[in-house]
Amino acid sequence: MKVVYDVTTKRELRQTHRVATILHKKEVPFKFVTVDLATGQHKAPVYLEKQPFGRIPYIDDHGFILYESRAISLYIAEKYGEQGALLIPKDANDKALFEQAASIETANFDGFAGNAVTEKIFKPAFTGAKPDEVFFETQITELRKRLDVYKKILSKQKYLAGNEVNLADLFYLPYASLLPQMGSQVIEERPNVARWVDNLKSRPSWQAVKQGITSTA
């Protein structure tokens, strides 16, 4: 089954990688279409018809349009539940712990890591402006405090929701992989967190997308 997948190009942004990783993990063939951010294609009226917030990515699955990278990932994980890794637990309590882990990611990691990455990497790349180092450091400081809690959680179990990997762990990959590039050691300074990130980065699904995303159908 083909999944036509409209996504971003050139400086392939991280939300796109989140979805591509899951497509690979669930062995779902997809077509990849680039959206030219540099020319503002994502803000044009025809694009806004599909993704009204003017963000990337979105998918088109036989006419069904969906945006928000985590929602797309959940849709794929549920639709192809029987193939590839089981990424959403079936047991009610395990599922609740998965939801807890997924919520922790948006509440405690994504905002600070995303701001740090945007300030240090994307802002210079897209606008040529210099990073605001003070702002960058405040984000890293906040991230450090949260990662100290992750350190405790990951000292007792292998992954964020228990001892099996799931979608909530994979959601971290894009920004977690960029932090070292910014000169930040926040992950390396915490051995349990570093172990967990290295484990996620070693997966073939991440290896397949980290250099760039291409159609597999």
φ and ψ at 93, to 5 degrees?
-70, -40
Q: How far is the CB of 65 from another protein (least distance, A)?
A: 10
Q: How far apart are CA 97 and CA 59, in angstroms?
A: 27
Comparing CB distances to another protein, the nearer of 54 and 191 is 54
Q: Is 122 helix (H, G, I), strand (E, B) or coil?
A: helix
The nearest distance, CB 29 to another protein, in angstroms, is: 19
SS3 of the chain: helix, strand, coil, percent, to 5? 55, 10, 35
Give the range of 6-14, 31-39, 75-83, 203-211 binding another protein by CB under 8 A: 75-83
Report DSSP letters for 70-97, one per residue: HHHHHHHHHHTTTSSS--S--SHHHHHH
Of 4, 37, 50, 67, the one binding another protein (CB under 8 A) is 67
x/- track of binding to another protein for residues 93-122 (CB under 8 A): x-xxx-xx-xxx-xxx--x-----------
Note the residues at the interface with another protein (CB under 8 A). 52-53, 64, 66-72, 74-75, 78-79, 92-93, 95-97, 99-100, 102-104, 106-108, 111, 146, 149, 152-153
